[in-house]
Structure formats: structure tokens, C-alpha cells
């Protein structure tokens, strides 16, 4: 299914440098480029011909080459978008809450849309980096929030244990009988 190769393909870099408008190229006309190709590389309209390639074949070649370049650029952006999505997956793996899962799904769709549509509007691609930064900032805040919750829980548990120990100490130092002390201690530590 590959398109047929053209004799002009081996002079692709030269032709694009001559034909593309400035600042990417010299912006030559088709006629000027065909002439230069003939003079520099001897590429003629046919075997044994002394004339440059026809303007129509050069025009067709240029159009096909431009289309192929456009498609390659889009494919590169698609691959970049996919890589960004994989990074999102890795970052969000630490936050597997259902709401985050939905958010990740939507974000990845947005990233891929931006990757594809930025060909026609390059400014869209510039939105990706700030978007990623916002997401990462959000994740850092969420991580800190989770860590703080864990710390608070740890402190609460330690305080509860300390309170139990104090109460148990009070029981041991009291005037109760050994049997009464045992009952109270079992209650304190939930062993009743």
C-alpha cells in the first residue's frame, strides 16, 4: 500500500529547501526549482531528455511530499500525546479513587485531542504543559493531604493508647482487689 517512489524523492531535501516558502525555504517557483534540479543533478523529464521535469509532475510530487510530511508530524504528535498519557497513568496510580479514575480518563482524552488538533492550531499544544503542571500540582496537594490524614490518624491512635495506659496505671495503683483490677483492665483493653 506504499505510494510509488519517484525519481524526485532522492532530491527531496534539496527540492524542499528550494520550494518551501521563506523562512523554511527559498520560495522558488516550480519552474526555477525544476531548472535548478536539471542543472545541479541532471534530473530531466525522461530518459535521454534535455528538458527539466515538467511543472505538473513537480507540483504533484510537492503536494504528495507535503501531505506525507504533514501526516508524519501528526503521527509524531500522536506518539507524544500517548507518552504523556502513560506519564499520567503512572502519576495517578498513587490515587486510585473512582473520581480520580474518571478525571484521568477525561484528561487523557484531552491530551490526545490537543496532540492531534495542534497541527492546525499550534497554540493548543502550548496548553499541554500548563495543564500537566496543574495536574501535577493537584496531585502533590492530594498526596500531602493523604499524608496529613495518615499522620493525624497515627497521632489519634497513639493518644488513645496513651490514654489507655494512663487509665490502666490508675487501676493498678488503686485499692481494688486483684480480681476487680483484672476485670477493669480487661474492659480498658477491650478484652471483656
Partner 1 sequence: MTARQQITAFVLRALARSGSEPVTQDYMRGLITGAFRHLQLTTADVDGHIAAIEAEGFISGTQDSVLGRLWLLTATGVIKAQQLG
N-terminal to C-terminal alpha carbon distance within the chain: 80
Q: What residues numbered 9-68 form the site for partner 1, per CB under 8 A? A: 63, 67
Q: Taking contact as CB under 8 A, which single stretch among the options 50-58, 91-99, 109-117, 151-159 is the one that binds partner 1? A: 109-117
Closer to partner 1 at the Cβ: 37 or 115? 115
Q: Which of 62, 116, 183, 185 binds partner 1 (CB under 8 A)?
A: 116
Q: What residues numbered 139-158 form the site for partner 1, per CB under 8 A? A: none
Beta-carbon count within 10 A of 108 CB:
18
Determine if 106 is a binding residue for partner 1 (CB under 8 A). yes
Closer to partner 1 at the Cβ: 79 or 150? 79
Yes or no: say if 143 and 136 are a contact pair by the CB < 8 Å rule: no
The alpha-carbon radius of gyration of the chain (Å, integer) is 36
Closer to partner 1 at the Cβ: 101 or 143? 101
Q: Taking contact as CB under 8 A, which single stretch among the options 42-50, 82-90, 126-134, 147-155 is the one that binds partner 1? A: 82-90
Phi-psi region of 155 (alpha: psi -120 to 50; beta: other; left: phi over 0): alpha
Q: Which long-range contacts (CB under 8 A, 24 or more apart) does 91-96 make?
A: 91/135, 91/136, 91/139, 92/139, 94/139, 94/143, 95/139, 95/142, 95/143, 95/146
Q: List interacting residues with partner 1 (CB under 8 A).
A: 1-3, 63, 67, 70-71, 74-75, 78-79, 81-82, 85-86, 102, 105-106, 108-109, 112-113, 116-117, 119-120
Amino acid at each position: 500500500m506504499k505510494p510509488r517512489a519517484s525519481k524526485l524523492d532522492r532530491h527531496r531535501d534539496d527540492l524542499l529547501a528550494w520550494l518551501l516558502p521563506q523562512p523554511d525555504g527559498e520560495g522558488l517557483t516550480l519552474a526555477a526549482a525544476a531548472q535548478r534540479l536539471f542543472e545541479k543533478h541532471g534530473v530531466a523529464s525522461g530518459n535521454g531528455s534535455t528538458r527539466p521535469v515538467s511543472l505538473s509532475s513537480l507540483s504533484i510530487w510537492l503536494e504528495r511530499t507535503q501531505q506525507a510530511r504533514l501526516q508524519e508530524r501528526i503521527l509524531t504528535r500522536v506518539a507524544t500525546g500517548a507518552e504523556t498519557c502513560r506519564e499520567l497513568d503512572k502519576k495517578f496510580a498513587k490515587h486510585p479513587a473512582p473520581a480520580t479514575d474518571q478525571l484521568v480518563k477525561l484528561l487523557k482524552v484531552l491530551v490526545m485531542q490537543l496532540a492531534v488538533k495542534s497541527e492546525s492550531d499550534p497554540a493548543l499544544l502550548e496548553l499541554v504543559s500548563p495543564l500537566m503542571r496543574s495536574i501535577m500540582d493537584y496531585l502533590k496537594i492530594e498526596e500531602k493531604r493523604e499524608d496529613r490524614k495518615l499522620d493525624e490518624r497515627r497521632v489519634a491512635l497513639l493518644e488513645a493508647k496513651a490514654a489507655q495506659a494512663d487509665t490502666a496505671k490508675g487501676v493498678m495503683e488503686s485499692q481494688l482487689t486483684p480480681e476487680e483490677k483484672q476485670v477493669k483492665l480487661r474492659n480498658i483493653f477491650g478484652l471483656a
